[in-house]
Structure 1
Amino acid sequence: MATPEEMLQTMISNLPEKTGKSLDEWLKLTTTKGFAKHGECLKYLKSEHAVSHGFANLIASKTLEAKAQQTGAVEVDPLQAQYSGAKAGLKPIYDKIITQVTNFGPDLEISVKKTYVSLRRNKQFALIQASTKTRVDLGLQLPGTPVTDRLELSGSFNSMVSHRVRLQSPEDVDCELIDLLEIAYDRN
């Protein structure tokens, strides 16, 4: 199984074939546009250049990194912030989920927010949140699905999902969990 770093390098290597430009060529174009926010750059790449969401997300992230380096500004990566300090040990759980869901289809969108990561297709079907220093909560949009010992109603956890699964180790990301994620993905 590829590491997130290897997956990133593969995406960068595939940019010329998939988008017609290398990362350096994209950065020459996007860093001159003066984007202040990730979403602005993302929208530009998708609407003006028909870049798919995954590659546009990569280019937008690298654009803002390059801008921060040029200006000396320190931009905090929200994903890094979510899995830092006491929660750093939870990152392998997140990584394992992401590795599995990237196989679902080309329309999968991974959107990093300030305190959680949204998994979207047509709409959000799941979210990943490092809730405590010992637990990641996976919220799933599975209305009408009965609860089990593992799959509980979301309750006060998050109103954007119907259910929650509490994860304490990468081993908790098993076939049963991936099946639940795929059902939520297919319904959206």
Structure 2
Amino acid sequence: MSGMSTWESMRTRIHAQLERQTGAGVAEWNERIAAAGLADEPALRAWLSERGVGGYPQMLLVYEAFGYPDFLLATADELVDGQYADRPELRPIFDAVVAAASGLDGVTIQARKTYVSLVSPRRTFAIVKATTRSRVDLGLRLPGVAPQGRLVDARSIGNDNINLRIPLSAMDNLDGEALSWLRRAYEANS
């Protein structure tokens, strides 16, 4: 799965965002933080907020000061292997979904700790998550589309923008209909 991106690529984008928004890079902010002598994360977050640093740049600087979680230091392969370690029979379903998504123009595959995001050039349009020991969910961002047929309501499987999912418990569940919904989500979010 070497075509997947992880935290490192996101970190690079956040570095650039921080510098664009504040005029100072991570090294300079780290020096400012050290000089401020802040003892804990809440104090650092408040201090950064007072200086107009929020969102991802704030998160990055907190990690810089207090350490990165292990899952952010893992490779994409390590993250995905961890998701399917106790359910290897589901891995072929995951691999097939990722292969199908990789065939869409400009799609980036982003591994997370508990799921994998499928991102169009514009935004996340789907996620793949081993939800149970016997099912992978293909979560789809399809605003305005109601649950119907195999499309069921998606509750807390990734990010809040994923509103529908297709349960996949066998390879033959990833059929023309499922792939058509995947393409439709891609097109709606490109």
TM-score scaled to structure 1, two decimals?
0.59
| Secondary structure of residue in 1 paired with 2:126 | strand
Alignment of 1:62-73 (within 5 A): none
Contact 2:129 2:157 in 1 (8 A): no
Q: Would the alpha carbon gap of residues 84 and 146 (structure 1) be closer, same or farther in structure 2, given more than 3 Å must change?
A: same
**Matched residues in 2 for 1:143 and 1:115: separation?**
23
Identity %: 30
Unaligned runs of 5+ in 1: 12-36, 44-73
| Secondary structure of residue in 1 paired with 2:82 | helix
Matched, 1:38 2:8: yes
More deviation in 140-149 or 119-128? 140-149
Q: How far apart are 1:162 and its partner, in Å?
A: 0.9
The one-character-per-residue Cα deviations of 1:118-175 (angstroms, maximum 9, x if unpaired) are: 0011111000000111000111001111321310121344523010111101111111
The aligned residue for residue 108 of structure 1 is 107
The aligned residue for residue 78 of structure 2 is 77
| Secondary structure of residue in 1 paired with 2:150 | coil
TM-score scaled to structure 2, two decimals?
0.59
Amino acid of the residue matched to residue 167 of structure 1?
A: L
- Report 1 or 2 for greater relative contact order, CA contacts < 8 Å, sequence distance ≥ 6: 2
Q: Which has the larger radius of gyration?
A: 2
Amino acid of the residue matched to residue 93 of structure 2?
A: I
Alignment of 1:134-153 (within 5 A): 134-153=134-153
The aligned residue for residue 119 of structure 1 is 118
Unaligned runs of 5+ in 2: 14-73
| Secondary structure of residue in 2 paired with 1:77 | helix
Q: Which runs of 4+ in 1 moved over 2 A?
A: 37-43, 155-160
The one-character-per-residue Cα deviations of 1:78-137 (angstroms, maximum 9, x if unpaired) are: 01100112x1110000011111111111x1010000000000111110000001110001
**Matched residues in 2 for 1:95 and 1:125: separation?**
17
The aligned residue for residue 42 of structure 2 is none
Matched, 1:93 2:96: no
**Matched residues in 2 for 1:40 and 1:163: separation?**
26
The one-character-per-residue Cα deviations of 1:51-94 (angstroms, maximum 9, x if unpaired) are: xxxxxxxxxxxxxxxxxxxxxxx978101100112x11100000
**Matched residues in 2 for 1:157 and 1:127: separation?**
8
Q: Would the alpha carbon gap of residues 95 and 42 (structure 1) be closer, same or farther in structure 2, given more than 3 Å must change?
A: farther
The number of residue pairs the alignment matches comes to: 127
Matched, 1:173 2:163: no
**Matched residues in 2 for 1:83 and 1:77: separation?**
10
